[in-house]
Homo-oligomer: A and B are copies of this chain.
Amino acid sequence: VIDPTDRGFALGDGLFETVLAERGDLRSLIAHLDRMTAGCAVIGLPPPDRREAEATMRAALAAAGLARTRAAVRLTLTAGGGGRGLDRPEPLEPFLVATAAPAPKPQAPARLIVSAVRRNDRSPTSRLKTLAYLDNVLARREARAAGADEALMLDTAGRLACAAAANLFWLKDGRLFTPALDCGVLPGIMRARVLAAARAQKIEVAEVAEGPEILASAEQIFLTNSLIGLRRAVQAGDEAVENHRLVDSLERAVESD
């Protein structure tokens, strides 16, 4: 239960990580805690104690009865309660909480639209998993209203950034493409794993700044995040393209890590 003056609730003043738990195994936990620690430095919060963070996550998983299945464990860190207005109180007393929920792996390809809501690449928060995620909620809402599953978001210059809750990749001529981080992109844990797997398989990789029209010529589009792993995608209204063998090969690599 959370204090209504908690700054995470009142102002989105905090960060989160969503970790895949497979039969109690917290996948890429170190990378997730590294990313939260790096985010804390950007927004000026003390990072959580790693042992406490892990214990909090394991307790949430156990309390939800999800320690033997596939689950999403969400760790939330806020600037804590007290005070009023934008200035943080002193001393700061950060608040840490975890929740767990079932996380079935989606099977069908995601149908994508391009959202009218842009990523604010002119704020450091566009590269962080913050509690201020309403733009992403609205982009997803727009996708659902259009009969699609997920929204692609452009940065303020109109360049592809990412999906509302995933990173974006596409393949063309045997090369793998993904938006460059400075296009307002969250540095996804699964994004990094896919890039590493591609390099290990000698697939040429390019991090690019491109508008959405580039996707029309892609041979295969896919999305990544820690929960879905690698999910094939099509632009809503397009015929689904044939599955690309390189996607299978990358998927096998990140799933066997």
Question: Which residues in A have some Cβ–Cβ distance to B below 8 Å?
Answer: 1-14, 16, 43-44, 72, 74, 76, 79, 84-88, 97, 99, 101, 103, 117-118, 120, 122-125, 130-138, 140-141, 144, 156, 164-165
In addition to A1-B1, A4-B99, A87-B144, 5 A-B residue pairs with Cβ atoms within 8 Å of each other are A2-B2, A10-B131, A86-B165, A132-B132, A132-B135
A165 to B134, CA, bound (A): 18
B5 touches A76 (CB 8 A): no
Selected contact of A10 from candidates B76, B117, B138, CB within 8 Å: B76
Q: A1-B2, A4-B76, A44-B141 are in contact. Are A12 and B122 (CB under 8 A)?
A: no
A86 touches B120 (CB 8 A): no
Look across to chain B and name the residue whose beta carbon is closest to the beta carbon of A120: B120
B11 touches A134 (CB 8 A): yes
A156 touches B125 (CB 8 A): no
A134 neighbours in B (Cβ, 8 Å): 11-14, 43, 125, 130-132
* Interface pairs (26), CB distance under 8 Å: A2-B2, A2-B3, A2-B4, A4-B76, A6-B9, A8-B9, A10-B74, A10-B76, A11-B134, A12-B12, A12-B134, A13-B133, A13-B134, A44-B141, A79-B137, A86-B133, A86-B140, A87-B140, A87-B144, A118-B120, A118-B123, A120-B123, A120-B135, A120-B156, A125-B135, A131-B132
